[in-house]
Amino acid sequence: MLSGFYYNALNERQKEAYNQLCSGIASGRERVSVNYTFSGSEAGQLITAVQHENPDYYSCVFQAVAYSAGGGRAQFSFRYLNTDDGAYSRAFDEIYAMISARLSVSPSEYDICLAVHDVLASIIKPDDECNNLLNSGTELGQNDIREMIENGSVAAFTAYGAIVNRRAVCMGIASAAKMFLEAFGVQCALATGKDSNGVGHMWNIVEAEGDRYNLDITTDLMFEGFEFVRYGCCLVPDDIYFRLFTPDYDFGCTSLRNCYFVKKNAYFTNLSGLVNFLEQYNFSGKRETLAFIYRGGVPDKEIEKYVHGILYPRLQKLRAVPLRIDGGIYQCGIDIKK
């Protein structure tokens, strides 16, 4: 099960400390002491478990946590955000209602994951200032953290920022997604890793009808010039997702059964199937993202040329925003007024 993934990896001393830290954070304490000392790696594993198992803590506790040990005791120090609980509750309920409106009376776990993905990806904007800071590779010091807390920019790293401000980085977006997914009964875990440039990233692992999938809402956000939700990282297995990121943990996402592209009949392993799909696609009156994946033997560059040769003549008289093929995934925004 995904719930408790990080907690279950702790040893007994860490689990006892975990419960004490959760109790202290829930009470708003800035320092929590436990009757054990831990190595730096053990302390880091403990803090990761506390934060990853409790995404609501990302609404009030910044991720940098001071740790000191001595005399057989360990002390953990936290810094809290100033948050408006009323605004948070109202914003959460509003988004929850938006997700509910997309669901049937008895939705499948796949349906819930897709609804959470589509709603959050359509209303949350990336926080470019914080993203630029992360991409710069600069290590944040205590003074940087203090300043970010004081000016409020640190909210972008939290579920609070994603839900209330609707502007966040991957950490805040994935944390918010976990809260909504679990609110609708979907098993979910936060996952971390690095992109090809070594920049850290966070996304979700979900269970849909018994299989695990990567769900990365941050990478699928709308962006300037492409006002459409993207689906390249929506319910995909590892062999598709890891073209972009290297994970810190192996969650074993290997199934294609509930992959977005398979469910949409847009997953192709032979060229004739792809060609038939494109030739039969009805653009009339559409405002949606056309997304499909080709995993056959023809090189991506050749497929890109072929796809463009088929699609572009049909798109010349239509209002559309095409995107490139990336790792076999092609996405094109279609906006055609009836």
Identity of residue 291? A
Q: Between 300-315 and 271-280, two packed helices, what is the crossing angle to 10 degrees?
A: 10
pLDDT at residue 61 greater than cutoff 60 = no
- Average pLDDT of the segment spanning 18-40: 87
pLDDT at residue 146 greater than cutoff 80 = no
291: helix, strand or coil: strand
The H or E element containing residue 68 is strand 66-70
pLDDT interval class at 63 (50, 70, 90):
very low
- Average pLDDT of the segment spanning 319-332: 66
Q: Are 53 and 4 in contact (CB under 8 A)?
A: yes
Q: Please write the tens of the pLDDT for every residue from 198-211.
A: 888 999 999 999 99
pLDDT of residue 338: 42
pLDDT interval class at 274 (50, 70, 90):
confident
pLDDT of residue 280: 83
Least confident segment among 60-64, 173-177, 189-193, 200-204: 60-64
Cα separations in angstroms, 258 against 185, 211, 214, 253, 263: 17, 8, 11, 11, 6
- Average pLDDT of the segment spanning 13-42: 88
pLDDT at residue 121 greater than cutoff 90 = yes
The secondary structure of the chain in percent helix, strand, coil, rounded to multiples of 5, reads: 45, 20, 35
pLDDT interval class at 259 (50, 70, 90):
very high
Q: Please write the tens of the pLDDT for every residue from 173-188.
A: 999 999 999 999 999 9
- Average pLDDT of the segment spanning 127-141: 60
pLDDT at residue 325 greater than cutoff 70 = no
- Average pLDDT of the segment spanning 26-50: 86
> In whole angstroms, what is the distance from residue 22 CA to residue 318 CA?
54
The H or E element containing residue 48 is helix 40-53
Cα separations in angstroms, 117 against 113, 159, 283: 6, 15, 23
Least confident segment among 3-17, 140-154, 198-212, 260-274: 140-154
* Secondary structure (DSSP) of 70-137: ETTEEEEE--B----HHHHHHHHHHHHHHHHTTS-SS--HHHHHHHHHHHHHHH-EE-HHHHHHHHTT
- Average pLDDT of the segment spanning 224-228: 71
- Average pLDDT of the segment spanning 147-165: 76
Q: Which of 196-200's residues contact partners 24+ apart within 8 Å by CB, and which partners? A: 196/244, 197/135, 198/137, 199/134, 199/135, 199/137, 200/134
Q: Are 174 and 190 in contact (CB under 8 A)?
A: yes
- Average pLDDT of the segment spanning 261-277: 91
pLDDT at residue 261 greater than cutoff 50 = yes
pLDDT interval class at 127 (50, 70, 90):
confident
Three-class SS of 193-217: EEECCCCEEEEEEEEECCEEEEECC
> What pTM was computed for the model?
0.89
Q: Which of 48-57, 82-91, 196-205, 246-255: highest mean pLDDT? A: 246-255
pLDDT at residue 225 greater than cutoff 80 = no
Q: Which carries the bigger pLDDT value, residue 168 or residue 136?
A: 168
pLDDT at residue 326 greater than cutoff 90 = no
Q: Please write the tens of the pLDDT for every residue from 232-249.
A: 999 999 999 998 899 999
The one-character DSSP state at 254 is -
pLDDT of residue 321: 59
Rounded percentage of the chain residues whose pLDDT exceeds 70: 81
pLDDT at residue 149 greater than cutoff 60 = no
